[in-house]
A and B are shown apart, each in its own frame.
Chain A
Amino acid sequence: MNRKNPLSTVIAIASTAIAIASGIFVLGGYFFAQKADGQASLLTNIRLTLLNWAIILAGFAIFIGILNLFQVHFNKIQKKQKGSFYSLLLILSLAITFLFGLVKPGQMEIVFTTVQLPVEASLMALLAVTLTYASIRLLRRRFNLLSVIFLVTALLILFGTAPLPFLGDIPGISDWVRPFIAQVMAAGGARGILLGVALGTLTTGLRILFGADRPYGGNK
């Protein structure tokens, strides 16, 4: 916030205090959820109320986000920037979907099943090509032991998952190597990574509670 403006300073302090207090109440509500008699504690009720408010605000944020999307693409069309034709398509689609929702509110899923779903499925199909190409280029980008292990593991999993035509499963790979990699090595590694992610999540949350990270403004 602008240091010369006292109102901004007050807003920054108030928003920080509200964020920290809300965070402490929600966290406390998780840890002290029940009273000794088994009933929900006051902290739990406060937590649930705050979470309900957050969900309502998140719903309203979607509306603001869509306005932002409209603004970005409208500006692109106005300034005739590169790709403005696609921005025009986006705005037309947005308007048509909105009107469709007003005229036939109960049949909105038609838009998703006939337009959105096929488009997303085709992008998913494109991913197979993109990932194959990325794997081929991996050794050119980073030629080291880890990249070799990564590629060999991916190939072994693919061999173990896809049976050969007419022959079926590949002996040794399908019944031993693939399960060993997937259920022992990959599962162990994944748990280790997830524990690390959980610890990172904990410390990130604590930094927000301390007011060291203030993404809601006022971070100096």
Chain B
Amino acid sequence: MDQPKISLDLILANIAAEAEKAQDTVTKASEVLLGPLETAMATTPYDVVYEEDRVKLKHYRTPGDVTLKTPLLVTYALINRETMLDLQPDRSVVQTFLNSGIDLYMIDWGYPTRQDRFVTIDDHINGYMDNIVDYVLEKTGAPQINLMGICMGGTFCVIYSALHPEKIKNLITTVTPTNFDTDKGLLHIWMRAIDTDKIIDTFGNLPGDFMNLGFLLLNPARLMIDKYVGFFENMGSKSFVENFVRMEKWIFDSPDVPGETFRQFADDFYKKNLLIQSKLEIGGKRVDLKNITMPLLNFYGMYDHLVPPEACNLLTKCVGSTDTEDITLDTGHIGIYVSSKCQREFAPKIIKWLRERDGEGRPVPVSATNETVGEQPSPAPPLKRPARPEAGKKPARPARPRPTRKEQTIKPSLTQVIQETI
């Protein structure tokens, strides 16, 4: 038998050092865990300005003046909660938007109960979303709104924009699945394998815990073992523990998905892939992606295991708009919103893109410093909104700067690519 070529003394010395380090971590950890911890999420102040059933509309308080004429409505998925965009003060997409002068609204889908089991996708899009959009238009007097969707919320936004294009000025989709005919993500394989009708007939709604278990099983080695090993290693760091707990709170804050909505999402989207083929019907109307003629900015993560790039990158090729842009970030599904690196790239890019398309034929000038990695874009001077056009009339769209179809793969730095493009 071959003898290992490493001395036993060295191994023992390392074990001793590791033990000492572990003891030190445990001592610090007890101080951290027993002391006060700041783990509150979504602390940016907002007002609930509209309520319908379980659905609420949050309107965030802008710290300074509103500098973008068009308000932005963010639509989150029905899976997990929109609090992810405002996880902690220094990693908050919400705060970045507000600091740059965006008038920000966000839909809070609430916690569906058994009472909501019959609520369909049509009710969400042509009901709640449409009523909210009408409310924002009415309240702000803006002729159109900017719409931004996240994951399944992005899919809703795509459908909404195709059905009500006259109300949407610019569309931003982030990690949004639109092409479900791919085997790249395990979720796509599993969703096609399940008997949706049986699940819904049994549970009524799709239970949040059930979904969470499914997500954990996508990568048990990392999500059920390695993640917590990492936690034990860093328990001595207060900020690490606080961030970790915030993330845990967000991950397991998982509302149920209304039964009928899930049934249709699994059958028409995952199993039949109707949306990308413009064959989907919502509320008796066909969702034709060619109706999406407004500018479209499409973000997705290169290493997203839930919504792989293949599920996102066909959209810009199928819509009717000529002003489209694909941006690939070298991160996963959640990293786009919460990683420090993406915080410097993701939200500032959206702000810049919106500013360029906000004016009437003039992009709002953005100073060079705004594009510097790590700095928040400074707000432009306050603007007055134009009068809303007559009801039923499609507003004249302002001339857009540089209608182009772009594809970007940002690795390692998004900012460099943006600057080169400019």
Chains A and B come from one and the same complex: no
Point out residues on B near A: beta carbons under 8 Å.
none
